[in-house]
Amino acid sequence: MCGIVGYIGTKQAAPLIVQGLKRLEYRGYDSAGVCLLADGGIRIEKKAGRVMDLERAVDMDQLHGTVGVGHTRWATHGVPNDANAHPHTDQSGTIALVHNGIIENYLTIKKKLLNAGYTFRSDTDSEVLAVFIGMLYETLQDLEQAVRTALAEVEGTFGIVVISTHDPDMIIAARRGSPLILGIGNGEYLVASDAAAVIAHTRQVVYLNENEMAILRRDGFQTKTIANIDTHSVVEEIAFELEQIEKGGFEHFMLKEIYEQPITFRDGFRGRLQTEEGTVKLGGLATVREKLQSAKRIIITACGTSWHAALVGEYLIEALARVPVEVEYASEFRYRNPIISSDDVVIAISQSGETADTLAAIREAKLKGATVIGMVNVVGSTIARETDAGVYLHAGPEIGVASTKAFTSQLCVLTQFALYMGRMRGLSAEEGKRIAQELERIPEYISMILERADDVKAIAHAYAHASNFLYLGRGYNFPAALEGALKLKEISYIHAEGYPAAEMKHGPIALIDENMPVVFIAPHDEIYDKIVSNIEEVRARNGRVIAIADDEDTYIENVANHVLRVPRTLPILTPILASIPLQLLAYYIAVERGCNVDMPRNLAKSVTVE
């Protein structure tokens, strides 16, 4: 949610900030703004719409100054318009702030400020914070002190960057609940919501910790807690390359990321799978190995697509390791006072590693004594740092708002985790080897499916005008059906539901008529006959059936209107392969409907507010 870029150095800041904002636009894209300090004054340009709308409206080369901040917004308080766009200033117009997060007690603070005669130009909680800092500055005459005092009173989450004409050679950044990183250059510093905005300038970064702030000047930086205790910062290297966050000739990031999956999937098991021994080496779990061996229960918590991966994980871990698994929406888990003991292992799955609800869920689990493991994609993210141990997904940066390659990498890691635990708890080496061998073939299978993208495109063309879709699957492919439906609704705005196929007759069957496309995931497993019966039930009511079936299935054409083929694999690996045509189907339908695939309406990539 919301992208922040700040710069202090010797270069003109405006073009550099705008370039950074474009790389962060996947975090929020309903309005954008920049603020520059120059010649003792402050200049702000902001606009509803995308960063390119701001660029069209303002000649960035005319914005001078070597200190500045920029912001791309995902609205929480107040509609996306020019006034609500960031940066916001205090009453005097000398202090500017950009903010990511939510100030929960903003109404209380606003009331105090209104009573004291202050006025507001926007409906945002962020402006309240800017005005509050300004009010405190009037008495304290020290910007750092004013920011610190304001933040001590604030409830909620924030990543903020503040600049002011009172001290034009300084940037103040602070975080609680919203990520911020510092880019360490040569005589220049950047501050941003994530590494994508920084990598073109430096690979050296410092991840700000919770309740930490940074004071940046051209000749150095200082970190301390918001309570003013000096902290020790560790400079780390960004773990990805610039090309990985560019489109590389693809029309959309989403398509690029779908096509990256043969590689990203392999990266997820490279150096981990020990095929001959039928086991897996997960270095990041070495410190919790004994806990895993004795765990009485595993709870997996996540949101959105990661939650769908967690559901597949439940089936996998219970099947291979015979440990009871519960899957919880992080947003529910965190508030329902869950019963957790020190015998439990809690796994948090997250692409971004910053999802507010997932983060809160692991904090709750840790508080209650559970061992907490992260399965996270973004290296150095908050969840990765706050868990006791973890396994990185190694999917590389995922920019498209609709998660694709991260999902298959989550399944890759979960399969290995289930194998790892299974081998500790009685799974035979022979069975382990069979699974490992097949897992190694998956990248090649994904490539084969991608070569058949035109088949999916043709179906997308035929059904792009549908108003509703149903996705049905059983066993391992019930979560894959949920994920297929989520992908379609996110980017095409078609209403889509996922169900376990047998649940259809308990309600959704009422929806079926000749206008209802129904996507069935029908691998040739032990319940194949059951799913064929479900297909027949849909056909008997004139529903249109699109089946995902394997290459060796010679019967499916008798019952389905359309068939999308995938290579035959082990049942436990079928959701991985089924996901690829489902991702392509959502993508091509969204393109047919003229939707903005990479930046679907109302969504943001990283949900750092609850």
Q: Catalytic positions, please?
A: 2, 605
Q: Interface with ligand M6R by CB under 6 A: which range of 298-306, 423-431, 458-466, 530-538?
A: 298-306
At closest approach, how far in Å is the CB of 580 from ligand M6R? 15
Give the contacts of 77 (CB within 8 A, at least 6 positions apart).
84, 102, 106, 123, 124, 125, 126
CB atoms within 10 A of CB 268: 29
Query: Using the rule CB under 6 A, is 350 a contact of ligand M6R?
Result: yes
Q: Write down the least CB distance from residue 603 to ligand M6R, Å.
A: 6
**Does 260 engage in binding with ligand M6R (CB under 6 A)?**
no
User: Binding of ligand M6R at residue 223 (CB under 6 A)?
Assistant: no
Tell which one of 178, 193, 279, 355 touches ligand M6R (CB under 6 A). Answer: 355
Kindly indicate which of the ranges 249-257, 303-311, 319-327, 413-421 contains the residues binding ligand M6R, using the contact rule CB under 6 A.
303-311
Q: Which of 402, 446, 538, 582 binds ligand M6R (CB under 6 A)?
A: 402
Helix (H) / strand (E) element for 292: namely helix 289-294
Angle between the 125-140 and 106-115 helix axes, to the nearest 10 degrees? 50
Q: Is 193 helix (H, G, I), strand (E, B) or coil?
A: coil
For residue 66, state whether it binds ligand M6R (rule: CB under 6 A).
Answer: no
Under the criterion CB under 6 A, does residue 358 sit at the interface with ligand M6R? Answer: yes
Q: Determine if 490 is a binding residue for ligand M6R (CB under 6 A).
A: yes
Closest to ligand M6R by CB, 305 vs 415, is 305
Least distance (Å) between residue 606 CB and ligand M6R: 6
Interface with ligand M6R, residue 393, by CB under 6 A: no
Report if residue 84 touches ligand M6R, rule: CB under 6 A: no
CA atoms within a 13 Å half-sphere pointing along the CA-CB vector of 184? 16
Given candidates 31, 301, 351, 409, which one binds ligand M6R under the rule CB under 6 A? 351
Distance of CA 28 to the CA centre of its chain: 12
User: How far apart are alpha carbons 266 and 229 in whole angstroms?
Assistant: 44
Quick one: tokens of 81? 């318009």
Beta strand 236-237 with 204-207: parallel, antiparallel or unpaired? antiparallel
Strand order in 544-550's β-sheet?
Answer: 495-500, 468-473, 517-521, 544-550, 562-566
Nearer to ligand M6R, 573 or 604 (CB): 604
- DSSP for 447-511? HHHHHTHHHHHHHHHHHTT-SEEEEEE-TTHHHHHHHHHHHHHHHH--EEEEEEGGGGGGTGGGG
Does 381 engage in binding with ligand M6R (CB under 6 A)? no
Site residues for ligand M6R, window 162-201 (CB under 6 A)? none
Among 36, 136, 356, 401, binds ligand M6R (CB under 6 A): 401
Distance CA 213, CA 17 (A): 21
Q: How far is CA 142 from CA 138, 145, 146, 149, 530, in A?
A: 9, 5, 6, 11, 71
User: Measured from the CB of residue 540, what is the shortest distance to ligand M6R in angstroms?
Assistant: 34
Q: How far is the CB of 18 from ligand M6R (least distance, A)?
A: 25
The residue ranges that bind ligand M6R (CB under 6 A) are 303-306, 350-352, 355, 358, 401-403, 490, 603, 606-607
